[in-house]
């Protein structure tokens, strides 16, 4: 029985009796059945995986492959064993994929790449490969995932974005210019009523352009296709500039903005942080009762293990229910009761603010008690220096 097990076969019938040999034989049987069930479990894990799992020889011939290849590409596993794997790649992708495989052999590190693979029906699927060379086995072990749907969705998204920016934004921009000219009387004098109606139309067009710009910006930020332009920034100056930008809006509603806190210098993308501040103060104005007060401040804080800067914007508005506090940072979310402030928005501002703060490795959040106003805060990590310490360093 020991020899049978060593050769990978089932042991024959058990020995009768209670002596030492019989006991040893019983242990052998138990060991054999444990091995068989472990082997079965491992094999079924591989057989039932949704990804292709395969091993390649050192010249990239397919040695072993699980049944997932049939579901993904239509080939029976036996029919591709021994085939050079490059033969299954799109001719345009072959060279690059070969270089990636070579790279995996050179480093023993995990290598990832995307390659189009031919199906039995002659079409192609986008697949993502993770390959690792085992020097001990002299094989490349690979896991292959079908990402065609992801690629398709990405392509569609790109097309929608291109459509939105070319086919919607451009005509709206020229409509805005034309409406502006008519309202200003460049093309002849309008009646007072005419000016009123066209001004309202122009404001709607401007709001639409703003929304499209927000959508495109959010897409750019989320896809990582933008770089932060870090520069040392004075917090007081930044707050004052943001307040100046919304001053007219605040004045119109008789709202006072009070600022306090330390003047700190921190490294950040000041234009983009400015945008976050303008959005948060703008929201505070929109949701404040007429004649209300808004408090804004900046001070030192800690972000994770780092020193940082925190900005706070507090209003005396209706507040946000506790269970909706996280929701407001999601796209197109408006959580209130359809107040006037809400109607003017698109639900994109806070999503953009969050994306900008997180691109800085910072954090953003809100505290609120319904009926008692809201405080929005965000923290950016940095070696914060006070104005005095900068002066003495200079």
User: What residues line the site for ligand ADP (CB under 6 A)?
Assistant: 279, 283-284, 287, 315, 317-318, 320, 328, 333-336, 342, 345-351, 374
Tell me how far, at minimum, the Cβ of 353 lies from ligand ADP, in Å: 7
CB-nearer residue toward ligand ADP: 254 or 304: 254
CB-nearer residue toward ligand ADP: 349 or 381: 349
CB-nearer residue toward ligand ADP: 350 or 363: 350
Tell me how far, at minimum, the Cβ of 261 lies from ligand ADP, in Å: 19
Tell me how far, at minimum, the Cβ of 329 lies from ligand ADP, in Å: 7
CB-nearer residue toward ligand ADP: 25 or 315: 315
Who contacts 247 (Cβ-Cβ below 8 Å, separation ≥6)?
257
Question: At CB < 8 A and 24+ separation, what contacts does 198-204 make?
Answer: 202/176
Are the beta carbons of 117 and 97 closer than 8 angstroms? no
Tell me how far, at minimum, the Cβ of 216 lies from ligand ADP, in Å: 16
Tell me how far, at minimum, the Cβ of 91 lies from ligand ADP, in Å: 48
Place of tokens 């024959």: 12
Who contacts 304 (Cβ-Cβ below 8 Å, separation ≥6)?
381
d(CA 20, CA 256): 94
CB-nearer residue toward ligand ADP: 73 or 285: 285
CB-nearer residue toward ligand ADP: 127 or 374: 374
Tell me how far, at minimum, the Cβ of 278 lies from ligand ADP, in Å: 11
d(CA 315, CA 113): 50
Which residue has its beta carbon closest to ligand ADP? 345
Are the beta carbons of 353 and 280 closer than 8 angstroms? yes
Residues paired with 319 in a beta bridge: none
Q: Residues 58, 61, 67, CA angle at the centre, nearest 5°?
A: 125
Tell me how far, at minimum, the Cβ of 79 lies from ligand ADP, in Å: 55
CB-nearer residue toward ligand ADP: 81 or 346: 346
Are the beta carbons of 280 and 315 closer than 8 angstroms? no
d(CA 73, CA 65): 12
Burial 156-180 (b: 16+ CB within 10 A, else e): eeeeeeeeeeeeebeeeeeebeebe
């Amino acid at each position: 029985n020991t020899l049978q097990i060593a050769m990978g076969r089932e042991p024959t019938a058990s020995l009768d009796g209670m002596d030492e040999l019989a006991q040893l034989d019983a242990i052998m049987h138990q060991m054999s059945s444990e091995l068989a069930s472990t082997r079965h479990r491992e094999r079924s894990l591989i057989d039932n995986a949704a990804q292709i799992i395969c091993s390649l020889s050192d010249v990239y011939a397919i040695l072993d492959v699980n049944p997932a290849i049939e579901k993904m590409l239509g080939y029976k596993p036996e029919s591709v064993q021994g085939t050079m794997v490059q033969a299954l790649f799109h001719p345009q992708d072959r060279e690059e994929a070969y270089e990636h495989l070579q790279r995996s052999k050179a480093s023993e590190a995990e290598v990832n790449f995307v390659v189009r693979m031919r199906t039995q029906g002659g079409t192609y699927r986008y697949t993502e490969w993770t390959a690792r060379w085992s020097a001990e086995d002299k094989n490349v072990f690979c896991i292959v995932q079908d990402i065609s749907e992801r690629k398709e969705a990405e392509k569609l998204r790109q097309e929608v974005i291109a459509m939105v920016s070319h086919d919607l934004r451009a005509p709206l921009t020229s409509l805005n210019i034309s409406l502006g000219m008519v309202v200003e009387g460049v093309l002849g004098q309008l009646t007072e009523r005419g000016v009123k109606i066209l001004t309202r139309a122009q404001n709607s067009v401007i709001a639409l352009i703003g929304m499209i710009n927000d959508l495109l910006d959010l897409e750019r930020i989320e896809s990582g296709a933008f770089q932060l332009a870090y520069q040392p920034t004075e917090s007081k100056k930044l707050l004052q500039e943001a307040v100046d930008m919304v001053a007219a809006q605040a004045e119109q509603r008789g709202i006072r903005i009070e600022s306090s806190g330390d003047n700190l210098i921190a490294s950040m993308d000041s234009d983009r942080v400015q945008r976050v501040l303008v959005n948060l103060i703008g929201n505070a104005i929109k949701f404040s009762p007429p004649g209300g007060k808004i408090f804004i401040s900046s001070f030192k804080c800690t972000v994770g293990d780092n020193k940082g800067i925190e900005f706070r914007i507090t209003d005396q508005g209706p507040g946000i229910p506790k269970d909706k506090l996280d929701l407001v940072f999601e796209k197109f979310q408006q959580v209130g009761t359809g107040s006037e402030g809400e109607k003017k928005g698109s639900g994109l501002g806070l999503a953009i603010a969050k994306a900008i703060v997180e691109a800085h490795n910072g954090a953003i959040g809100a505290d609120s008690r319904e009926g008692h106003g809201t405080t929005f805060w965000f923290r950016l990590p940095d070696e914060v220096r006070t104005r005095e310490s900068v002066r003495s360093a200079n």
